[in-house]
Amino acid sequence: MVRSHSFELNTAGHDDTIDITPDVKRAVARGGVNDGVVCVFVPGSTAAITTIEAEAGAIADLAECMRRLAPSSIKYKHNERWGDGNGHSHVRAAIMGPGLSIPLSGGEMLLGTWQQIVLIDFDNRPRKRTVHVQIVGE
């Protein structure tokens, strides 16, 4: 069976990183699926979803890494074409990816103890985001 849920959250943009593990767990608990896969996805080309140990140090390190990979201070063709100034946001989001799949076993996602699901908003302004959680299994 397939169960679909979604939830919304407000971000501050500028690499704002939000632990969405509790929200995803709530969706899984409501889904009534015990074994299968949980797909978590954020629509939009300037946000990403990954896993990390969601503590302030690791979160800051990851944001720093993305700033080194795609600095906001360099020239982007996207900015020249559109003038919205978020060329770096698109590149960072594309590198990281908009979602992930997590195995579900016995009603629990097979996440590590220190592995949380985070949404990172790379856009250059506050955004309202919708996260989709689709659970496929039995």
Select from 12, 13, 23, 22 the least CA-distant residue to 93: 13
Amino acid occupying residue 14 = H
Kindly state the smallest distance separating residue 132's Cβ from Zn ion, in Å: 22
CA 76, CA 79: separation in Å to the nearest integer? 5
| CB closer to Zn ion out of 28 and 122 | 122
| CB closer to Zn ion out of 45 and 51 | 45
Residue numbers of the site for Zn ion (CB under 5 A)? 84, 86
CA 103 to chain centre: 17
Kindly state the smallest distance separating residue 70's Cβ from Zn ion, in Å: 13
Kindly state the smallest distance separating residue 17's Cβ from Zn ion, in Å: 20
| CB closer to Zn ion out of 17 and 86 | 86
| CB closer to Zn ion out of 19 and 84 | 84
* Cα-only R_g, the chain: 16
Helices in 19-106 by DSSP H: which ranges?
Answer: 21-31, 56-69, 77-82, 87-96
Structure tokens at 9: 């959250």
